[in-house]
Chain A
Amino acid sequence: MDFLNALVTLANFVIIPATAYGAQLALGALGVTLIYGILRFSNFAHGDTMAFGTMITIFGTWGLQAAGVSFGPLPTALLALPLGIAVTALLMIGTDRVVYRFYRENKAKPVIFVIASLGVMFIMNGIVRFLIGVDDQRFADGERFIIRARDFREMTGLDEGLAFRTTQGITIVVALIAVIALFWFLNRTRTGKSMRAFSDNEDLALLSGINPDRVVLVTWIIVAALATTAGVLYGLDKSFKPFTYFQLLLPIFAAAIVGGLGNPLGAILGGFLIAFSEVGVTYAFRKVVGYLGPEDWQPEGLLQLLSTDYKFAVSFGILLIVLLFKPTGIMKGKSV
């Protein structure tokens, strides 16, 4: 019984939250890695792209709520998600036209693209703060829990409860659908294959008649979809605050690099690795170990490796280890 209690505690506080967080990071890292693979630069504006997409979705949600539309037990934001994706895609394509295309045609160095993305980051940050403000926004509605802690206790007779929130369930399901769709697209469709070819070898791809403008266009649309979805899921699960989204840049980049920049599978793996380490290292294992140890015994300390304020240090630590020992990432990325 104690073993089961330990397992439930672990699932409640580590496994479920980390899986949801990992899915959100993976979607974010997929966007970063796609831009890196096809457009060949690290997009510092990605966190703010997520914030922008989420903001539009929140506006859509408010509009739907005001019109009395709801999605039953599911959050209304899911209905507004397509709108968020569409507007973000338009913004991305517009940004590419106005900013990035010039440097692409001039074959500028990658770092120039990065600096340009800093400018884009400033502007998008300004737009988001201008339109929605800097405060926390909670926009999750519908049923809050799939399993409530009390119901779980009554159902199983265990001492520990297990809560499974709707937003966590939705995160996992939506992320799964998005990833399957993305891989189907990249591996099975003609456009997807041309994107991979373009990523592997630009010159050869151009030689075989692939239209680079089309590849870039499709990439931005996919990136907008991934970023908006990641942002909305994160916002549903926690809350929306522009500055938090900006700070997500670090774990997302860490996930993409750890997995191997430019490698979509690696981005997913990296996302979950970062999420599980972050939650695992900052969780106090006292209760879990207490259940596993002898009867009537509790460990003295909290058994928490690092305080939660240092969660950035975890992604950073993993990043450093990977950079030191395997700079191309776990799954082989594009280049060092």
Chain B
Amino acid sequence: MTDPIAVRNQVLERIGDRADAQVVATIGPSELTRFANSFIHQNVGEIRSSVVLTVISDGRVAELVGSSTSDAGLARLVEQGLELVRISPIDSDWPGLASPAPLGEMPGRDETEPTPQYRADAVKAFLGAGPDLNGAGFCSTERLESAFGNTKGQMADGVATRTVFDGILRTDTSSGSAHHCSSDVRSLDADALGRLAYERAILGADPITIETGTYEVVLGHDAMAEVVMEIGLYGFGGRSVVDQESFVDPGANQFDRAITIVDDALALGGVNYAFDVEGTPKERVVLVDAGVSGEPCHSRRTGLRMGVRSNGYAPAGDLGEWYGGGPMDIILAPGTKTVDELIGEVERGIYVATFNYCRCLEPLTVEVTGLTRNGTFLIENGEIVRGLTNMRFTQSFVEALAPGNVLGLSNDPRFGHADAGPAYVRAPAARLARFNFTGNADG
């Protein structure tokens, strides 16, 4: 069976009146073409298929996940679910099923599934922008259709489409990267991405190592996406709030007034669904409004524990146990300047294209350590003067965006490549007054 709506309906019919239940069926092609040393070395495809069934009976709750969508497979899943819930312990925190509610409308887009040759041609175009450099990265395309239903009558379905390109070009001493993510396959311009990566790689060749310490920085779109992602997960996730591990104080002026962050699945154009895995329509949530902290993102379970309703942010699978509700479609509002103008205002500082291997040391301050990667540059007198070797930072991301520390945001937000977390993030570049670098190539 390839229609998730039919799968959902069949599961609910098989459950009948034997128990309460909710089901999420997701089916669709997912393909990824990977290249390294300027050739395609891995190229994979699958028909993704998952059915997540939650069965509730007499206060007991059990969740089953299956990959089979055949009649026999669905019948087995349902019977296993009914058997499992019978021997499950009482779940005293079960928040109940979502009630029927309408979904927001996703924008239309080209949902054509590209061919393997389309992705190979995109790789060729990227590599063609820097034929003398060593290229690596991937091009992926997905069209996943998901259907939710529960025995309380809530039904929801939708399509997520994603075209992602992530590539680097390397000289012997440097590398430059470019990233693209869109719900519309027609927006991919692999040649332009290649030219950007090439420019960064050449600019960074023969890097020098500078002293560690506190520097003014311009963080590129990808680096800022990381900052916003970590703040979203650790601060605005319902689980963090329930566990008293969130720094967020709703109504307090915790960020610079330049910072406005919202979570809005509809505004991101269809890379994600308009509902969460509990069937709750995703609301537009203002996380930060001109520096003032707003409310967190909740699932039904974390919302119940905090005495509020879910705003549609129950994450899938084991992410629910880790984050228990968290931002999924994050947008940092842009500023008014170009990236060149931000750089032009820096007397001496560092430009960082992307971060790598970021890990949170303290959730209550979102102190994070990680490294710069694929484009670290010294700025002097308003210009990038040369490349730098990668540097390690140890920095509270809350303090990085604190009042007075944000000196400007760029006017060209785009999807960024964040290293940590499952959310999609659209962010501008940013100029920050102080950022702590605690290590360099020497240690």
User: Is the A/B pair a real complex?
Assistant: no
Q: Give the interface of B toward A (CB within 8 A).
A: none
